[in-house]
């Protein structure tokens, strides 16, 4: 079980001085947890304490809150603090898997997708090259942070989703009709398939997953456009 504490409200996070102040204030907490023999991990004011059962977690939660608020005069953010199974809690964007390895917390994947959605908004009116450039800047930094996680499958699924978002973006740029037909034919799609897709009443998102579109705007095509492949880059960082 994990006991997530303290998520204190003092000092405020955001400035470069905040982690230093948190470490100074919470050094006494570290010593107290070591004295009790608890396994724990803390960064600034974010701390996870590891115990063997739910009952033990609840006891530790109550006693540590009393220590923080009573002795150290700090307020605990009770909305962010909880007792739960280790895999259900996140720490600095990571989560601990049952096999003891690190994984990416679901909320971290969700936030990454929100950022990708912002970059790939179909009404932006900028070139695909610019969108890919912005995506690469974000993806390279994001993956560098999470390179210690066991996440090959998640990255492969994220790669697929990103490519579909970009196929959707590129089709929308062509505005339908003959422009879409010509574009797909240039990429090797047979004329009758290209015409069928361009005249379809389906939305861009559904069309982006059509087999001829996926074959034309393939992984290799996106590689030629310079798009970072998360799964391949992850393998390179890990080896």
Distance CA 41, CA 27 (A): 12
Lowest-pLDDT range of 12-21, 84-93, 112-121, 126-135: 12-21
Q: Residues 122-144: what's their mean pLDDT? A: 95
- Hey, which bits of the chain come out as E strands? 2-6, 39-43, 46-50, 82-84, 94-96, 102-104
| Residue 11 pLDDT | 40
Tens of pLDDT, residue by residue over 175-188, are 878 999 999 999 99
* Structure tokens belonging to residue 101: 């390895």
Q: 182 — phi, psi (to 5°)?
A: -60, -40
Distance CA 234, CA 221 (A): 20
Nearest by Cα to 38 from 13, 75, 5: 5
Q: Read off the pLDDT band of 217 (50, 70, 90).
A: very high
| Residue 10 pLDDT | 40
Q: What is the dihedral of CA 77, 80, 82, 84, to 10 degrees?
A: -160
pLDDT at 226 over 60: yes
Residue 69 CB-half CA count within 13 A:
14
Q: Which residue has the higher pLDDT, 109 or 124?
A: 109
Lowest-pLDDT range of 32-36, 65-69, 77-81, 184-188: 77-81
pLDDT at 216 over 60: yes
Tens of pLDDT, residue by residue over 72-104, are 888 888 888 889 888 888 889 999 888 889 999
pLDDT at 3 over 70: no
Q: 48 — phi, psi (to 5°)?
A: -115, 130
Distance CA 92, CA 6 (A): 14
Q: Residues 167-173: what's their mean pLDDT? A: 94
| Residue 5 pLDDT | 52
């Amino acid at each position: 079980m994990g006991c997530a504490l303290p998520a204190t409200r003092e000092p405020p996070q955001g400035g470069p001085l905040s982690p230093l102040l948190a470490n100074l204030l919470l050094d006494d907490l570290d010593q107290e947890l070591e004295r009790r023999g608890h396994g724990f991990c803390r960064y600034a004011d974010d701390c996870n304490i590891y115990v063997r059962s739910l009952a033990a977690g609840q006891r530790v939660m109550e006693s540590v809150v009393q220590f923080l608020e009573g002795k150290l005069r700090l307020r605990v953010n009770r909305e962010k603090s909880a007792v739960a199974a280790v895999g259900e809690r996140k720490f600095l964007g990571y989560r601990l898997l049952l096999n003891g390895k690190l994984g990416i917390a679901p909320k971290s994947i969700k936030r990454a997708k929100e950022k990708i959605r912002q970059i790939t908004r179909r009404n932006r009116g900028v070139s695909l090259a610019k969108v890919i450039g912005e995506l690469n800047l974000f993806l390279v930094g994001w993956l560098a942070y999470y390179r210690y996680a066991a996440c090959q499958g998640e990255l492969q699924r994220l790669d697929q989703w990103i490519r579909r978002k970009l196929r959707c973006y590129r089709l929308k740029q062509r505005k339908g009709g003959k422009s879409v037909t010509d574009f797909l034919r240039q990429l090797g799609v047979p004329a009758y398939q290209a015409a069928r897709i361009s005249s379809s009443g389906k939305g861009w998102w559904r069309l982006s997953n059509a087999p001829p579109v996926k074959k034309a705007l393939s992984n290799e095509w996106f590689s030629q456009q310079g798009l970072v492949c998360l799964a391949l880059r992850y393998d390179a960082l890990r080896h």
